[in-house]
């Protein structure tokens, strides 16, 4: 997801493009969703006391007690049947409801070659030399860039940087191969796994879906095994990486002793817009080249070397609402040029989806004190008609780190205000937007890599990843660090320059 289309004036003080104030619009049904999610996944909470009591009772039994119990059971057929039935039932229940832990072994983010760097000046020069944009729309793109939060070190594919640009299927494949194989090669080097050890492959890319698919390209290049379970996800926007993670989690529950490779990326080459519809030009200004590869495992032997354990995934889909469904649409303009249209309702739709998602997530992650305060204020307002604002829980008590999709500066500003986060919490998202631009679904991983490079991730820390996507979707993932990440032992796109960050990003960066 990117920033919405600005008109003149470019930034309005108050409109439907701002996120709604959560304090004024929390709905009880979203709270019920969260508690329903907790209850349906909370069987262990009820069984745990029984298991503890049974284990405690069993621990005080002597061999003589067990022998006498056996003697009694030999002559009591009913007791034998009841005990056997109970034992079979408990074992069956355990194997049915148990969840396999999912570990994030490691991940890698792609860093393009220096020749792919695109400063804001190069961007404007390229746009001017294409000869397809009007003077007014060139000025419009300049204003977007000046207020975008992007720096001068983002990357674009060669086909876009060429003069004149030469987008084609062949060039788009070259970009896809560079991003996917670059990230996977680094991940394989980090983890020392063999390609044939991978049992599940999921590739997500919203706007480029060739035949053979991107997942087939990976399988062919690395000669993955013939019975691999592969998926190619398209059209799911910037939140597709968390959808892929959720899909991998579910697959790892039914395929024991497996490794899952998730690749998140977007393709710029065939999706550069050469028309003059302003609602489609914003994407040109914000989207940049990038991708990430993530290795997940359900093998207990991988826990020691893994970085994180997946705690929760929560997905929210607003596609049943027509306004939400149509707020981000790939379509042709009046001259037949294809681009992605961003509706003026985008921020309001995103806010509603976010509100639903975090209200569902809250009961799963918030400390009980915050839940009680929130629930009490909500009940007082809804049922007793008290003139109070619903209490907005402090999510900083549930998470140490936040990775919010770097879709655009306006989105980050609104989320910082609504979630009451500090500049420190927003730093990974803002610096990712500044250094790499909006890399679509992979931006969350550049943000996590930033926190690692800064030495912020300690054992036991919880990280919240949250992203938005067309359709309209808002998805969350919660990770718990299994060990302290030591920056000097890491290899990521940030390491060579991490000491230069954070940088001051002015509200308007004229050039």
Kindly state the DSSP code that residue 223 receives in the 8-state scheme: T
Q: Where do the H-state alpha helices sit in 60-195?
A: 63-74, 77-97, 120-130, 135-147, 158-161, 169-191
Maximum Cα interatomic distance, the chain, rounded to a whole number of Å: 97
- CA atoms in the 13 A half-sphere facing the CB of 510: 0
CB proximity list for 371: less than 8 A, separation 6 or greater: 362, 363, 393
Q: Which of 375, 205, 374 is nearest to 292 (CA)?
A: 205
- CA atoms in the 13 A half-sphere facing the CB of 328: 26
Rounded Cα distance between 469 and 471, Å, is 6
- CA atoms in the 13 A half-sphere facing the CB of 9: 6
- How many angstroms separate the Cα of 49 from the Cα of each of 45, 46, 54, 55, 100? 8, 7, 9, 10, 20
Rounded Cα distance between 14 and 25, Å, is 17
CB proximity list for 409: less than 8 A, separation 6 or greater: 3, 147, 148, 149, 430, 433
Kindly state the DSSP code that residue 499 receives in the 8-state scheme: G
Rounded Cα distance between 16 and 281, Å, is 20
Residue 354 parent element (H or E)? helix 346-365
- Known catalytic residues are 238, 317, 401, 405, 438
Kindly state the DSSP code that residue 303 receives in the 8-state scheme: T
Rg (CA), the chain: 26
Residue 246 has phi, psi (to 5 degrees) of -65, -40
Residue 296 parent element (H or E)? strand 291-297
- How many angstroms separate the Cα of 137 from the Cα of each of 7, 123, 152? 11, 13, 21
CB 28 within 8 A of CB 378: yes
What count of other Cβ atoms lies within 10 Å of the Cβ of residue 416? Answer: 18
């Amino acid at each position: 997801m990117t920033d919405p289309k600005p008109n003149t004036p470019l930034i309005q003080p108050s409109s439907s493009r701002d996120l709604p104030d959560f304090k004024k619009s929390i709905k009880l049904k979203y709270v019920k969703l969260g508690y329903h999610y907790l209850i349906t996944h909370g069987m262990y909470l009820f069984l745990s006391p029984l298991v503890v009591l049974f284990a405690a009772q069993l621990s005080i039994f002597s061999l003589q007690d067990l022998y006498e119990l056996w003697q009694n059971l030999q002559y009591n057929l009913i007791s034998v049947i009841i005990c056997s039935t109970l034992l079979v039932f408990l074992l069956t229940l355990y194997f049915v409801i148990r969840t396999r832990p999912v570990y994030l072994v490691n991940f890698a983010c792609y860093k393009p070659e220096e020749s792919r760097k695109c400063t804001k000046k190069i961007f404007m020069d390229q746009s001017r030399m294409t000869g397809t944009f009007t003077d007014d729309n060139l000025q419009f793109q300049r204003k977007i860039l000046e207020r975008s939060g992007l720096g001068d070190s983002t990357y674009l594919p060669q086909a876009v940087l060429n003069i004149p640009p030469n987008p084609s299927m062949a060039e788009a494949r070259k970009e896809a191969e560079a991003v996917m194989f670059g990230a996977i090669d680094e991940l394989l080097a980090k983890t020392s796994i063999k390609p044939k050890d991978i049992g599940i492959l999921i590739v997500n890319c919203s706007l480029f879906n060739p035949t053979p698919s991107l997942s087939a390209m990976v399988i062919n290049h690395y000669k993955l095994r013939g019975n691999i379970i592969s998926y190619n996800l398209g059209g799911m926007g910037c939140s597709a990486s968390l959808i892929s993670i959720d899909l991998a989690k579910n697959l790892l529950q039914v395929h024991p002793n497996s490794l899952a490779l998730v690749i998140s990326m977007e393709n710029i080459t065939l999706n550069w817009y050469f028309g003059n519809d302003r609602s489609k030009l914003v994407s040109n200004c914000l989207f940049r080249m990038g991708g990430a590869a993530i290795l997940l495992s359900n093998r207990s032997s991988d826990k020691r070397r893994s970085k994180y354990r997946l705690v929760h995934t929560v997905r929210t889909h607003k596609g049943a609402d027509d306004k939400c469904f149509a707020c981000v649409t790939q379509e042709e303009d009046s001259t037949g040029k294809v681009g992605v249209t961003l509706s003026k309702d985008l921020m309001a739709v995103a806010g509603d989806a976010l509100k639903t998602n975090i209200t569902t997530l809250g009961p799963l992650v918030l400390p009980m004190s915050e839940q009680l305060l929130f629930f009490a204020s909500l009940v007082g307002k809804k049922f007793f008609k008290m003139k109070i604002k619903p209490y907005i829980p402090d999510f900083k008590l549930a998470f140490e780190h936040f990775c919010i999709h770097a879709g655009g500066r306006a989105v980050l500003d609104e989320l910082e205000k609504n979630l009451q986060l500090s500049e420190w919490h927003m730093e990974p998202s803002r610096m990712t937007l500044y250094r790499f631009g909006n890399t679509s679904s992979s931006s969350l991983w550049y943000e996590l890599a930033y926190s690692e490079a800064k030495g912020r991730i300690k054992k036991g820390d919880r990280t919240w990843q949250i992203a938005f996507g067309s359709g309209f979707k808002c998805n969350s993932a919660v990770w718990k660090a299994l060990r302290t990440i030591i920056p000097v032992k890491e290899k990521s796109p940030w390491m060579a320059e991490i000491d230069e960050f954070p940088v001051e990003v002015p509200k308007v960066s004229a050039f």
